[in-house]
Structure 1
Amino acid sequence: MTFRNKVLRFVSLHAGEEDRKKVYENVRSGISFRGSNLWILACAIVIASVGLNVNSTAVIIGAMLISPLMGPIVGAGFALGTYNFDLLKKSMRNLLISTVVGLGVSAIYFFISPFKETQSELLARTAPNIYDVMIAFFGGIVGVIAITRVEKGNPIPGVAIATALMPPLCTAGYGLAIGNFYYFLGAFYLYTINCFFICIATFLIIKYLKYQPVEILNPKRSKLIRNWISFIIIIMIVPSFYLAYNLYQQRSFDDNVNKFINEEFNNNGYTVIYKKTNFNSAPKKIEVATLTKRFDSAQIVQLNQRLQDYGLSQTELVIRQDEIDLKSEILSELNTQQNVVSEKDLIITNLQKELSVYKFDNITILHEIEILFPEMKNLSIGRQITETESDSAFIETVVIFNSEEETEENEVKLKKWLEQKLSLKNVVVINRGQ
């Protein structure tokens, strides 16, 4: 065997391959959204929406794992690879239905939800780029390789998480619910990227494995399909490159701003207490304020000229020195934080009040009982809530002790003594030793 044949055999995907009829049946069954798949889809939509709403990564991952959206996407790629146009129509129809249902249910959830804040998990899915294309494509390759194996192994859950379909779809629903079409378009574009490149990855692997075509196409029609696929790939990739470039520019801008502030302000002993940047304005803006230093107009002009040295062209530096405006912003921020702290203090105080009802702090009373009633051993005292048959409840003080002697008379005395000494009602004395 030649070295080339050894390499080809080493990287071959034919070893461990599942029976092709069984693969086809599995793909076809995963396309349908009837019965259990429909219920699973509905639950996954709600779970993903809740996870995005409360910013819970664990819940979102759970929704990714149970979502059956991969079924019709893989089915579409499989159908393209085998020229099975009936299967392709069915896959596209089910994908369209599941997409509309996902958008509708998530939009309704976010519309009625009292929490409308845009959490970080939502924001993360509104600006896709070329890296999302790569994740979808290579995740799709892993996914289709896994479904064509006899031993499915661990890749399927990983693919479901990596090629996240449900979160961007629900984020698009969130954009509809709050009327923010920037969020809607960004999230739906990410969802479309994931769907399309998983489909293309499936198509390429099915072609590589040389699955038998259902229809024999003439070269002209086959070329037309390939041209359409290439055209859609270009349409999908070009905006993602632009968004990736824009993300790179924004991060570079932030890094340069931090370097500028560190070297021109912090290193010169000017403590920066306020910083705000705006990358999308024209020109870009940097707003800062210092603790004590006041700059004259010549110094501000000089600092603006220095921006060029830090790669911050077309950027304007604004130094906030209007004490009234600046103090109002700082006080507003402090008041917000103080309100949060005050709410927490209120909750703690209420909890302490609730606990104090049941807490018995007068420990010295136990020593006095031991002196007055030496036959009572292993004393304990506390408060508890007791319900009555009339659906009412009251709090009573309970004294528990051990004694093998007859203590009924002393129990009565102890009860009266405690009620008098501590101004209590409903004292119960219990002897566990009898």
Structure 2
Amino acid sequence: MGENINDDKNTSHQQTDSGEEVKKDIKGLVGSTRKFLSELLDIRKNTDQEATMEAIIADIPFKGHTSWILICSIFIASVGLNANSTAVVIGAMLISPLMGPILGIGLSLAVNDVDTLRRSLKNFAVMVVLSVLTAYLFFAIFPLRDESSELLARTAPDIRDVLIAFFGGLALVIARAKKGTIASVIFGVAIATALMPPLCTVGFGLAIGNFDYATGAMYLFSINTIFIALATFLVLKLLRFPMVRYVNSKRRRLIGRLASLLAILVMIPAGITFWGALQESLFRKQAQNFVHEKIAPYQFEGSGRFMEDFTDIEFNKGKNSFIELVFMGNETVPDNVIATWNKQKNEDESFARLKDTELHIIQGSKNEQIDQLKYVDQLYETQKTELVDKDARIKVLEAELGKLGKLSIPFADISVEAKTNYDNLESLGFSPTIQTDFKKMDTIPIFEVKWKRDAKRFQTVEDAKKLKAWLKLRLKDSTIQLKEVVQD
């Protein structure tokens, strides 16, 4: 009995010891993982605070060479947007000095430097006015002012633009803070955040009198500016950059409060912008799913057609959001089908954000002629690239038809003439044959001849030479081949 009790105690001690060992192993693993992640993600050790502040402050002013570089880059970007050339726009963004004052705003807020903040705001205003004015003059004077896809892409920002601006700003200020700045990161952020194209689009909108384009592009530029400055502020706070000290304690407290207040004022619109862009993005996603799942599958009995490419989704924070659906042809969508779509939109939980959204149904036979022309014009614009491709295919087909035309011969006349000239000819055939030497492929016209069984061999050889020469001359085609059919 005593031995059993001792065995139980030993077992209990062993279990306790093994449990403690497991706990120690887990703690060790957690500690190792934490240390690894700390070494992997810690950026404080390799940060050069003094050099970072000097570099950012040096890029703030806009005067002399910097101003001319900005003007030239704006002109290049405007030409690229006008010509719908992504490569040219990217080149303009690489030489643009637009980022300096924005980083200066974030830096000054992070370290309570009111003088740097004042200079940053001043140069930021100069930068915006100079850029918009340059773009406006270009598009006002330049005779070609097509609404290219590169321009239109900058008039309707969404949640993705917010994320690009914020994480681009993070990457930029982290690269700036590193000892030995990573130039490739700075160039990459300049391209990704795309500060210049929106300002060029503002100038374009003002030049053509389209204030919707101008306000949409300015909204995109504001998003980029706010979130880059916010990312700069947060990173420099995380890296604990030293605060600017003032001799006057009252002035120091006042400036600290003002800087904190301005930082909060920057964060509030940033948060509101992010939330609004997120809501619009979710709304558009549900609207696109609704159109794809419920509207697009509808089949007309006659010549009606749903123009899915013309679907217009308009999001408003109030109750004025709508989805515009365009149908062409003489056949209209029945009222009961439209009622079903509305019911599905309002009752299906997967489309919960669409409950107060109106369906605007535009049907070909019910519209005025001016509306028809508008959508035909839009159809041409949206399908322009496809039409160009079709033109190229048409040219290729025409070339092939031209080749086939050469192979189309007056065979009836040829056969009569050949029979008249060659008494030993029993039958004549013709067919185009595809032939290759494994370097190129071509279609060769081949005539098949069958001579009479009692014809002399030397005579058929001679007649074959003459027949081939006559066919080439008669049909004006030096590629003609002659093939003799052997008698059974």
Question: Which AA in structure 2 matches 1:234?
Answer: I
Instruction: Give the 3 Å change call, closer, same or farther, for CA 320–91 of structure 1 in structure 2.
Output: closer
Instruction: Using the TM superposition, give the Cα deviation of residue 328 of structure 1 relative to its aligned residue in structure 2, in angstroms.
Output: 7.3
Q: Distance in 2 between matches of 1:88 and 1:326?
A: 53
CA distance in 1, matches of 2:116, 2:84: 38
What letter corresponds to residue 211 of structure 1 in structure 2?
Answer: F
CA distance in 2, matches of 1:236, 1:122: 24
CA contact (8 A) 1:130 1:237 kept: no
Distance in 1 between residues matched to 2:213 and 2:190, nearest whole Å: 23
- The 3 A distance-change label for structure 1 pair 24 and 310 is same
How far apart, in 2, do the equivalents of 1:233 and 1:180 lie? Answer: 30
Tell whether the 8 Å contact from 1:82 to 1:215 is kept in structure 2 after alignment: no
Which position in structure 2 is the counterpart of 1:25? 54
1:300–1:318 CA distance, 2 compared to 1 (3 A): farther
Which sections of structure 2, spanning at least 5 residues, go unmatched?
1-27, 315-319, 346-353, 396-488
Q: Which of 84, 90, 94 lines up with 1:61 in the alignment?
A: 90
User: What SS does structure 2 have at the residue aligned with 1:286?
Assistant: strand
Change (3 A) 1:290 1:235: same
Within a 5 Å distance, the mapping from 1:164-179 to structure 2 comes to 164-179=194-209
In structure 1, how many angstroms separate the alpha carbons of the residues matched to 2:173 and 2:380? 55
1:20-67 Cα shifts (integer Å, max 9, x gaps): 333232222211223332221111111111111111111111111111
Q: Is the 8 A contact 2:57 2:104 kept in 1?
A: yes
Distance 1:91 1:259, change over 3 A: same
Identify if the C-alpha distance between structure 1 residues 289 and 259 changes in structure 2 by more than 3 Å, giving closer, same or farther: farther
1:251–1:54 CA distance, 2 compared to 1 (3 A): farther
- 1:146 Cα deviation after fit: 0.8
Give the structure 2 partner of residue 260 of structure 1.
Answer: 294
How big is each residue's C-alpha offset from its partner over 1:284-304, in whole Å with a ceiling of 9 and x where there is no partner? 44231358xx46xxx712211
Q: How does 1:4-403 map to 2 (within 5 A)?
A: 4-18=34-48, 20-153=49-182, 154-215=184-245, 222-265=256-299, 272=305, 276-280=310-314, 284-290=323-329, 294=331, 300-308=334-342, 310-311=344-345, 314-321=358-365, 329=373
Taking structure 1 as the reference length, the TM-score comes to 0.67
Question: Which one-letter code corresponds to 1:91 in the other structure?
Answer: S
Shift of 1:192: 1.7
74-83 vs 38-47, greater mean Cα deviation = 74-83
- Rounded Cα–Cα distance in structure 1 between residues aligned with 2:200 and 2:372: 38
Q: What's the CA shift for 1:108?
A: 0.6
Deviation at 1:227, TM superposition (A): 3.5
Q: 2:266 is matched by which residue type in structure 1? A: I
Contact kept? 1:273, 1:290, Cα under 8 Å = no
Quick check: which has more Rg, 1 or 2?
2
Letter in 1 for 2:203: G
Q: Which deviates more from structure 2 when the two are superposed, residues 156-165 or residues 196-205?
A: 196-205
Structure number with greater CO (CA < 8 Å, separation at least 6) is 1
The letter for the 2-side match of 1:260 is K
Give SS of 1:264's match. Answer: coil
SS in 2 for 1:13: coil
Amino acid at match of 1:230: I
* Distance (whole Å) between structure 2 residues aligned to residue 331 and residue 38 of structure 1: 44
CA deviation profile, 1:97-140 (whole Å, cap 9, x unmatched): 11110010001111112122222111211122333222212111
- Greater alpha carbon shift after TM alignment, 255-264 vs 48-57: 255-264
Which TM-score applies when normalising by structure 2?
Answer: 0.60
Determine the C-alpha separation between the residues in 1 that align with 2:370 and 2:213.
32
**For 2:157, what is the secondary structure of its paired residue?**
coil
Matched residues, number: 336
Alignment partners' CA distance in 1, 2:344 and 2:159: 27
Contact 2:223 / 2:273 at 8 angstroms: preserved in 1? no
Q: Deviations over 1:161-217 (max 9, x none)?
A: 111111111111111111222211121121122122212211222222222222257
Q: Is the 8 A contact 1:129 1:239 kept in 2?
A: no
Structure 1: where are the runs of 5+ without partners? 349-434
Matches of 2:197 and 2:205, distance apart in 1: 12
Q: What SS class does the counterpart of residue 263 from structure 1 fall into?
A: coil
SS at match of 2:243: coil
- Deviation of 1:233 (Å): 2.0
Instruction: Call closer, same or farther: CA 1:117–1:208 in 2, change over 3 Å.
Output: same
Task: Report the 3-state secondary structure (helix = DSSP H, G, I; strand = E; otherwise coil) of the residue aligned with 1:81.
Answer: helix
Q: Distance in 2 between matches of 1:331 and 1:287?
A: 9
| Matched-pair contact (CA < 8 Å) for 2:70–2:97 | yes
Distance in 2, matches of 1:242 and 1:24, equals 33
CA distance in 2, matches of 1:213, 1:133: 29
Is the Cα contact below 8 Å between 1:168 and 1:191 reproduced in 2? yes
- Structure-2 separation of matches of 1:21 and 1:250: 46
Contact residue 73 and residue 198 of structure 1 kept, 8 A:
yes
Percent identity over paired residues? 35
- Cα–Cα, structure 1 residues 221 and 97, in superposed 2: closer, same or farther, change >3 Å? closer
Q: How well do the aligned residues superpose, as a CA RMSD in angstroms?
A: 3.6
Q: Which residue of 2 aligns with 1:372?
A: none
Name 1:406's counterpart in structure 2. none
Most deviating of 303-312 and 275-284:
275-284
* Helix, strand or coil at the partner of 1:315: strand
Per-residue displacement from partner, 1:129-166 (whole Å, max 9, x unpaired)?
33322221211111111112123232111111111111
SS class of match (1:31): coil
Say if 2:364 and 2:372, in contact at 8 Å, map to a contact too: no
Deviations 1:343-366, CA, capped at 9 Å, x for gaps:
x99xx9xxxxxxxxxxxxxxxxxx
